[in-house]
Copies of this chain bind each other. A is one copy, B any other.
Amino acid sequence: MKNAIKTFVTICMIVCLLPIEALAQQALWGNAPVISPEIHENNTVTFRLRAPKAVKVQVMGDCIAKGVADLVENKEGVWEYTTPEPLKPELYGYTFLVDGLKINDPSNVYMIRDVATVTNVFIIGGERADLYKVNDVPHGTVSKVWYDSPTAGFDRRLTVYTPAGYETSGKRYPVFYLLHGMGGDENAWSELGRATQILDNLIAQGKAEPMIMVMTNGNLVMEAAPGESSWGYVPPTFQLPKTMEGSFETHFPEVVKFIDKHYRTKANKKSRAIAGLSMGGFHSLHISKQYPDMFNYVGLFSAAIMPGKNATSPIYENMEGKLATQFAKKPALYWIAIGKTDFLYKANVEYRKLLDEKGYPYEYFENEDGHIWRNWRIYLTEFTPKLFK
């Protein structure tokens, strides 16, 4: 395939030089003969930016060993930097810093929004990162779906993944509810988390069961992600969640009811999983203990554990009693994952200590680094193969 692309690229470069009919939409092809990022055969990467008037250009991101590196200008005003070492397989994000101003790479339309920041991305394939890529395997369908929410008082949006073959199989499927962190929304897991690619690939490899995956919006004052709701234009700085005070947990059975009504689900505890990152891990913890007959698989990814002092919802009352009930019902899997430098590491140590004291069984996965999407993608690839077996 790589050769096919190269041939095609060569053809296109030739064609581009011809005076073909200019069926141009506005901004067609942009104004960028600059190639950035350029991923070389050996997985070093070159970043480029045309900025002839700039005094200093830097690139920042998790692909840069020291976090930030200076680009060097050539005589055409194009700045350039190549990583000294090949990059390991991973999905990387970066931005440029031009005389102190953070900007996106105009040559790279691959961007992902994380809360209120848009970052350019690229993937170095290989190893686990191959799970993050769109590969030549059967693909599930990814849908943006609205459901009526009596507790919220308005319609709200979900992302639903149905596995390849769902439309015509006639079969019923188990359901995995996957929750985002604070400031995220129903787009976070499918974009930053590569959750739909991970599911496609794990299912194609026979490592995960075909399943429906539901990615909710955990901020109950919001209808949907920024720009997708009837709020119209709202500065993203103000999209603070109504999130960790019990309302989302109280609301959650509405979601399960909607999914069981609108999809061919296996509508029972045995066939339901819930997991989430950070605040979504907190939600998963408190939802699963509040409704102990709902979920057989629970995943806490870098989870917050305890509610804040001002959270007075009944959801958070009698935590130990509810955990006792939940574990008495023997969930098939209670899975906790966190990175060693995560700021929630200590809270998770304490929570595991509580579970240990009570003799509640769980699996534990610990790795390097902290509270970052790289880890949450890893946790998803580790957790999902354990479900519904």
Is residue A336 within 8 Å, beta carbon to beta carbon, of the partner chain? no
Q: Which residues of B contact A122 (CB under 8 A)?
A: 233
Q: Would you give the shortest CB distance from A11 to chain B, in whole angstroms?
A: 8
Q: Which residues of B contact A229 (CB under 8 A)?
A: 134
Contact A107 B27 (CB under 8 A): no
Contact B136 A145 (CB under 8 A): no
Contact B238 A9 (CB under 8 A): yes
Q: Would you give the shortest CB distance from A2 to chain B, in whole angstroms?
A: 9
Q: Which residues of B contact A15 (CB under 8 A)?
A: 240
Contact A30 B236 (CB under 8 A): yes
Q: Which residues of B contact A146 (CB under 8 A)?
A: 138-139, 141, 164
Is residue A127 within 8 Å, beta carbon to beta carbon, of the partner chain? no
Contact B182 A35 (CB under 8 A): no
Q: Which residues of B contact A138 (CB under 8 A)?
A: 146, 155
Contact flags A8-50 to B (C-beta < 8 A → 1, else 0):
1100110110001111111111111101010100000000000
Q: How far is the CA of A116 from the CA of B279 in the complex (A)?
A: 35
Q: Would you give the shortest CB distance from A344 to chain B, in whole angstroms?
A: 8
* Cross-chain contact of A182 among B24, B182, B238 (Cβ < 8 A): B24
Q: What's the tally of chain A residues with a CB closer than 8 Å to chain B?
A: 104
Is residue A100 within 8 Å, beta carbon to beta carbon, of the partner chain? yes
Name the residue among A107, A168, A240 with the largest chain B CB count within 10 angstroms.
Answer: A240
* Cross-chain contact of A142 among B5, B144, B262, B278 (Cβ < 8 A): B144
Q: How far is the CA of A26 from the CA of B183 in the complex (A)?
A: 10
* Cross-chain contact of A240 among B12, B51, B226, B236 (Cβ < 8 A): B12
Check A230/B134 contact, CB under 8 A, given A146-B141, A183-B29: yes
Contact B23 A221 (CB under 8 A): no
Q: Would you give the shortest CB distance from A104 to chain B, in whole angstroms?
A: 6
Check A238/B39 contact, CB under 8 A, given A29-B115, A109-B116: no
Is residue A83 within 8 Å, beta carbon to beta carbon, of the partner chain? no
Docked complex: A204-251 residues within 8 A CB-CB of B: 221, 223-224, 226-240, 244
Q: Which residues of B contact A234 (CB under 8 A)?
A: 5, 9
Contact flags A154-170 to B (C-beta < 8 A → 1, else 0):
11010000001001100
* Cross-chain contact of A237 among B29, B228, B231, B343 (Cβ < 8 A): B29
Is residue A106 within 8 Å, beta carbon to beta carbon, of the partner chain? yes
Contact A113 B102 (CB under 8 A): no
Q: Would you give the shortest CB distance from A111 to chain B, in whole angstroms?
A: 7
Is residue A272 within 8 Å, beta carbon to beta carbon, of the partner chain? no
Contact B109 A102 (CB under 8 A): no
Contact B33 A237 (CB under 8 A): yes
What are 15 A-B residue pairs whose CB atoms fall within 8 Å in the complex? A8-B221, A9-B234, A21-B308, A23-B181, A25-B371, A25-B372, A29-B183, A30-B115, A32-B116, A53-B101, A103-B104, A106-B117, A109-B113, A136-B154, A141-B146
Q: Give 20 new A-B contacts, CB below 8 A, not counting A5-B234, A30-B237, A53-B55.
A: A12-B238, A13-B238, A15-B240, A23-B279, A25-B373, A27-B115, A28-B182, A29-B115, A30-B117, A31-B102, A52-B100, A54-B101, A101-B103, A103-B104, A109-B113, A133-B232, A134-B224, A139-B146, A146-B164, A168-B262
Please name the 6 residue pairs, one residue from A and one from B, whose CB atoms are nearest each other, closest first: A30-B116, A139-B146, A143-B143, A27-B117, A12-B240, A103-B103
